[in-house]
Homo-oligomer: A and B are copies of this chain.
């Protein structure tokens, strides 16, 4: 493996000058530059990235952290990786199985193994995580108000109210069911707030059929099984993602429940599952959330101005509702 010294020798200059050429410094004469490029070409020299990383204590790697895999995770990853690559960063993926492992990854920021962090979902509390923000930029699509962690979130409160109002005004129903995420999540809290206010305005509509599933995998199926056992189940059910809705619908249909005749279903996030199964849903512009997050990380890393793209969610009415 030819190194910087070989090139310097061949081009009759010092290591420093070669280094300047390859790290893009402008303080090199055109003549030296030519000589060096020629020598490097001839020797097939390529800078050793590991040495550079070690020297600068910077890897140009951004960590992508999730607790589990579900389709939206893949989409987020794809969006983020594309932008990162464009800007000269690569993306390292971590599926954390417990708090400790997540702390390990967070520590990578401190150890300069990762330059920045995008959090899909977390195991430790935000207060623990915030502590690491001083070691490098962290961003997330989760809702969190913090000056140290950037968050490109959708406020589920007005959105959920909008959906509830839409249902109230469109169908003659006396009960609405809710398949919700983890009680502790701010999105869930926002939805519950929306439900409570809605119940206050429309006391005739029953919103008590509520199920909570912290994990998306299997949630829809379980919800459907519970639904089937419910006497007098709601005529409309709102799921917290298209993926969960898809699973819910397909399990119901297996048990001869007709969607939308017997029960109407609303998804959330406008994923491929929603599209192909024709599920009514809300487009929350996941891609823009991802773009905002990665752009924020990179602009903080490079001390550039961050331009945030504003997101306006949109209801998409299809055939399940």
Contact = CB atoms under 8 A, between A and B. Distances in A.
Given A75-B69, A92-B90, A95-B81, A49 B273 contact: no
Interface in A91-148: 91-95, 97, 101, 107-108, 111-113
Contact of A92 (B53, B61, B243, B250): B61
A59 B50 contact: yes
A59 B69 CA distance: 25
Given A75-B69, A94-B85, A273 B275 contact: no
A250 B273 CA distance: 11
A95 B85 contact: yes
Contacts of A71: 71, 74, 272
Interface in A27-62: 46, 48-51, 53-54, 57, 59, 61
Given A54-B50, A75-B69, A81-B94, A272 B273 contact: yes
Given A77-B74, A249-B276, A57 B50 contact: yes
A276 B94 CA distance: 27
A277 interface: yes
Nearest to A72: B74
A94 B276 CA distance: 27
A171 to B, nearest CB: 23
A82 interface: yes
A16 interface: no
A90 B85 contact: no
Nearest to A95: B81
A78 B69 contact: yes
**Which residue, A73, A101, A107, A272, has most C-beta atoms of chain B within 10 A?**
A272
A194 interface: no
A31 to B, nearest CB: 29
B250 A49 contact: no
Contacts of A81: 93-95
A30 to B, nearest CB: 26
Contacts of A59: 50
Interface of A: 46, 48-51, 53-54, 57, 59, 61, 64, 69, 71, 73-75, 77-78, 81-82, 85, 90-95, 97, 101, 107-108, 111-113, 243, 246-247, 249-250, 253-254, 272-273, 275-278
5 tightest Cβ-Cβ pairs between the two chains A and B: A74-B74, A69-B78, A54-B54, A246-B276, A250-B276
Given A91-B92, A250-B278, 10 more contacts: A48-B112, A64-B93, A69-B74, A73-B78, A81-B95, A85-B97, A247-B276, A250-B277, A253-B278, A273-B273
26 contacts: A46-B107, A48-B111, A49-B108, A50-B54, A50-B57, A50-B111, A50-B113, A53-B53, A54-B54, A61-B92, A69-B77, A71-B74, A71-B272, A74-B74, A74-B77, A81-B93, A85-B97, A90-B92, A90-B94, A92-B93, A93-B93, A243-B272, A246-B276, A250-B277, A273-B273, A277-B277
